[in-house]
Amino acid sequence: MNKEKGLQTLIIAVLAIAILIMSVGFAAYSQTLNINGTATVKSANWKVHFVDTTYAESTGSVQATSKTITDTDVTYTVTLNKPGDFYEFSINVKNSGTIDAKLQSITMSALTAAQAKYLTYKLTYDGTDYNATTTGLSNALNASATKTVKVRVDYVQPESSEDLPASDATVTLTASLDYVQA
120-176 pLDDT, tens digit each? 999 999 999 999 999 999 999 999 999 999 999 999 999 999 999 999 999 999 999
Phi, psi of 7 (to 5 degrees): -70, -40
The predicted pLDDT at position 22 comes to 75
Pairing status of strand 86-95 against strand 128-130: unpaired
CB atoms within 10 A of CB 101: 21
Does residue 26 register a pLDDT over 70?
no
**Quick one: the chain helix, strand, coil %, rounded to 5?**
20, 35, 45
Does residue 27 register a pLDDT over 80?
no
